[in-house]
Structure 1
Amino acid sequence: MTTAPPVSHEAASQPLFDFAAGQVCRAADGWHAVLCIGSVEHRIWSKQPLTPGAHYAAELPLDSSFEARAHAATRLWRAMNGRAQGPAFQRLSKQRRERLCAALRALAAYFAGATYRSIAEALFGEKRIPDRVWKTHDLRSRTIRLVQSGFAFVRGGYRELLRAKRKDK
């Protein structure tokens, strides 16, 4: 990858643009940039090199991710024009975030060679794990499901976090 020179924009039209040196890079699939607007970093991709004073359009495929992409494009546009970005597209509940963290921790321990029992002891506490009935204990099943969820997440399931849950599916 090579680094493109910093890009500057007219203060009147885009007062919050700030491409720091080294934050515009060329890759095999196009140009990647980190756009700093206020204290927020936005990651963008372009087919052509980014040039000062140019006008850009967002290309949004009409696929199953259209709604999420349109929301992200709107938030970027609002930030570029000095407006509040608005709420995130889909907020995860505290319980969902905790489960995702537990699944990733369980998978990391599994990759490190830990047994399901030692993973369960680390996640749920050693006192909750009985000595004799481990093979039929519900925490064993829960630990195995967490590891399986971690695998699914790593294999591309993380993309589902961006998609809104539809009631008709």
Structure 2
Amino acid sequence: MGRLTHSDINGGCLFAADPEQAFDRQSIFWAPEALSTVLSLRQFGAASDGGQYALDWTSLAAGEFRRGPDGWHGVVALAGASHRLYLPAIPPKGVPLSIELPLDANSDIRLQAAHRFWCAIDGRRLGPSPLALSPQRRRRFVLMMRALDAWLAGHSYREIAEGLFGRERVRGRSWKDHDLRSLTIRLVKNGIALMRGGYRALLRPTSRKK
């Protein structure tokens, strides 16, 4: 197990990776202040009086926990969803917990994450993740990443467009004023922006301010 540190650049919690596992099969741990769906749990009171929820941590063995200087970070599967938790210390069995809900720009997202976690514990329907991407945004991000990979490999915008949308659509008209030309350029530029740190915007909801 590696030493945990908080990165001022990406807001992540760094642990030693398992060299025997592919990167996309290992959990990413985020600091609560960086990812609004990470729930900060605290011990609340003493023994439960029956009216409060007290998690049995032995029943969460399927989850992943990492211990760092600031406490415990976990990714726990409950009710078919992954819940991200942070605790300064693992409480004794039977002790109730509270969730910290700071008032900030992401309070609504944190409240939704807390509600989903409570629903999972109570056996209720969870509903969608508060940071879930729509199918349209997912498709666009896939196109961005494919366009970025091709651009980094040295392909021209036209070659990228042919790979993304097919040669027939690209070669059916003049490339100079082709609508796919401007679209491909935007995809590459947006992909570059994501690569250079813009991906962190995915950790927070799109602003709803007018």
TM-score (norm 2): 0.62
C-alpha contact (below 8 Å) 1:16/1:37 kept by paired residues: no
SS of equivalent residue, structure 2 residue 129: coil
Which residue is equivalent to 2:205?
163
Q: Distance in 1 between matches of 2:75 and 2:202?
A: 24
Question: Aligned residues: percent identity?
Answer: 43
Considering only aligned residues, what root-mean-square deviation do their CA atoms show, in Å?
A: 3.1
Q: Does 1:83 align with 2:83?
A: no
What SS does the corresponding residue of 1:36 show, helix, strand or coil? strand
- The letter of the residue matching 2:78 is I
Aligned to 1:72: 113
- CA distance in 1 between counterparts of 2:62 and 2:128 reads 30
Query: 1:106-121 alignment to 2 at 5 Å?
Result: 106-121=147-162
Note the C-alpha offset of 1:86.
Answer: 2.5
Distance in 1, matches of 2:137 and 2:193, equals 15
Q: Which residue of 2 aligns with 1:19?
A: 60
2:63/2:75 contact within 8 Å kept: no
Which consecutive residues of structure 1, in runs of 5 or more, have no partner in the other structure? 4-9
- How far apart, CA to CA, are the structure 2 residues paired with 1:128 and 1:145? 18
List runs of 5+ in structure 2 lacking aligned partners: 4-47
Give the superposition deviation at 1:15.
Answer: 7.3
Larger strand proportion of the pair: 2
Matched, 1:151 2:192: yes
Q: Distance in 1 between matches of 2:183 and 2:162?
A: 12
Give me the whole-angstrom Cα distance separating, in 2, the residues matched to 1:35 and 1:22: 4
Question: Residues 52, 159 of structure 1: CA spacing in aligned structure 2 closer, same or farther, 3 A cutoff?
Answer: farther
**SS at 2:99 equivalent:** coil
Deviation at 1:71, TM superposition (A): 0.6
Aligned to 2:92: 52
Distance 1:153 1:58, change over 3 A: farther
Q: Aligned equivalents of 1:30 and 1:15: distance in 2?
A: 17
Q: For residue 101 of structure 2, what is the amino acid of its counterpart?
A: L
Quote the offset at 1:74 in angstroms.
Answer: 0.9
Deviation at 1:145, TM superposition (A): 0.3
Shift in alpha-carbon separation, 1:71–1:39, aligned structure 2, 3 A: closer
Instruction: Looking at secondary structure, tell me which structure has more helix per residue.
Output: 1
Q: How far has the Cα of 1:134 moved from its partner?
A: 2.3
* Per-residue CA distance 1:5-64 (angstroms, 9 max, x = gap): xxxxx9x85578632278211135542112222433322122x12233243322222221
Cα distance in 1 for residues equivalent to 2:191 and 2:112: 27
Residue among 43, 58, 75 paired with 1:34: 75
- Distance in 1, Cα, partners of 2:80 & 2:118: 16
Asked whether the equivalents of residues 35 and 42 of structure 1 are also in contact (C-alpha less than 8 Å), the reply is: yes
What one-letter code is carried by the residue in structure 1 that aligns with 2:185? I
Partner of 1:6: none
Q: Kindly tell me: are residues 61 and 113 of structure 1, through their superposed partners in 2, closer, same or farther at Cα, counting changes over 3 Å?
A: farther
Give the CA deviation at 1:144: 0.8
Moved over 6 A (4+): none
- Secondary structure of 1:140's aligned partner: helix
